[in-house]
């Protein structure tokens, strides 16, 4: 079990003091712990993407207090993965950066309740569509940065081993389009929606990696690491039972341990492009 695998504490590289890295969902859980690691490793500029600016500013203070880094090394930017306008505004602002060396697209949701977000089911929209939109909007900047600096940008989307057990009935190519079926409140399998969203993320990552690599327009490494079952706020909306909390206490990794896997994805090499990572290595 992953619980019994000892993960390496992230170590940096000589380029990090010059790098700019974005983390979304940065004020809590895995995102916050990843920010702590990145700040400790001396990343030149860390951008904490958050829904609520006040919470982001509080998280920034906690990071700088813990790591001793100057406040100028961290910026807090608003981004709401439920809103395409917010994502586009964030990407426009990011395009004005002098360089962009890594993006941890950590913001995600897990819920068994059907609701709409930008006319799509919320889990599908936030975990897959919006995260892919952010990648595509940032891709020109990520490519430009790599060409100018010689340091290839990484785009990291957290995954889950639950994708192995994702229900596939809703992906049947016959009948209505896949998106239409996933958006049907009467037919949607919400119990399996989170695992399915992570399977779709894996498909997207493979496709993006292949198309980006073959385009000849500049490199960008994209990968999807699995932090494993962690103590976090992700499942609060749907898994708040006492039994689940006991299960979590006994078997889950801490958010800090899980974040090591995500930071590894941000620093991984070309071999990780288009790959699913587990326990800080490519899963084959």
CA–CA gap between residue 128 and residue 198 (Å, rounded): 8
190 neighbors 112 (Cβ within 8 angstroms):
yes
Whole-angstrom distance, CA of residue 99 vs CA of residue 6: 34
Q: Euclidean distance between the first and final Cα of the chain, in Å?
A: 17
Output the six-digit token pair for 272: 């990780």
Collapsing DSSP to helix, strand or coil, 155 comes out as strand
Residue that is written with structure tokens 């500013």 in the block = 57
Contact predicate 110/237, CB 8 Å: yes
The length of the chain is 284
Catalytic residue, candidates 194, 217, 231, 276: 194
Is 231 labeled as catalytic in the residue annotation?
no
CB atoms within 10 A of CB 29: 20
Given 45, 60, 141, 198, which residue is catalytic? 198
Nearest to 261 by CA among 34, 100, 63: 34
Q: How far apart are alpha carbons 261 and 228 in whole angstroms?
A: 9
Pairwise CA distance, residues 105 & 76, whole Å: 15
Q: Is 194 considered catalytic here?
A: yes
In 3-state terms the chain splits into helix, strand, coil percentages (rounded to 5) of 50, 15, 35
| 184 token code pair | 């049907």
Distance CA 213, CA 182 (A): 30
**CB-based contacts of 36, cutoff 8 Å, min separation 6:** 63, 66, 67, 256, 259
Residues marked as catalytic? 194, 198
């Amino acid at each position: 079990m992953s619980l019994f695998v000892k993960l390496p504490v992230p170590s940096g590289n000589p380029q990090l003091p010059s790098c700019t890295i974005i983390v979304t969902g940065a004020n809590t859980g895995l995102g916050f712990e990843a920010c702590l690691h990145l700040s400790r490793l001396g990343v030149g500029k860390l951008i904490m993407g958050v829904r609520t600016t006040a919470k982001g500013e509080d998280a920034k203070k906690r990071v700088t207090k813990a790591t001793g880094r100057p406040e100028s090394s961290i910026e807090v930017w608003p981004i709401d993965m439920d809103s395409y306008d917010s994502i586009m505004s964030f990407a426009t602002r990011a395009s004005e950066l002098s360089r962009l060396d890594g993006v941890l697209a950590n913001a995600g949701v897990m819920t068994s309740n059907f609701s709409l977000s930008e006319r799509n089911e919320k889990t599908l929209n936030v975990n897959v569509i919006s995260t892919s939109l952010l990648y595509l909007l940032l891709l020109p900047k990520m490519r430009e940065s790599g060409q100018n600096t010689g340091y290839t940008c990484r785009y990291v989307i957290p995954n889950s081993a639950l994708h192995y057990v994702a229900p596939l009935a809703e992906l049947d190519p016959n009948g209505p389009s896949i998106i239409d079926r996933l958006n049907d409140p009467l037919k949607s399998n919400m119990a399996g929606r989170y695992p399915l969203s992570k399977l779709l993320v894996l498909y997207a990552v493979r496709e993006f990696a292949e198309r980006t690599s073959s385009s000849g327009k500049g490199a960008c490494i994209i990968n999807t690491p699995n932090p494993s079952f962690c103590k976090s706020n992700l499942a609060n909306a749907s898994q708040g039972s006492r039994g689940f909390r006991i299960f979590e206490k006994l078997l889950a990794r801490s958010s800090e341990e899980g974040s090591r896997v995500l930071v590894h994805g941000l620093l991984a090499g070309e071999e990780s492009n288009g790959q699913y990572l587990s326990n800080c290595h490519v899963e084959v």
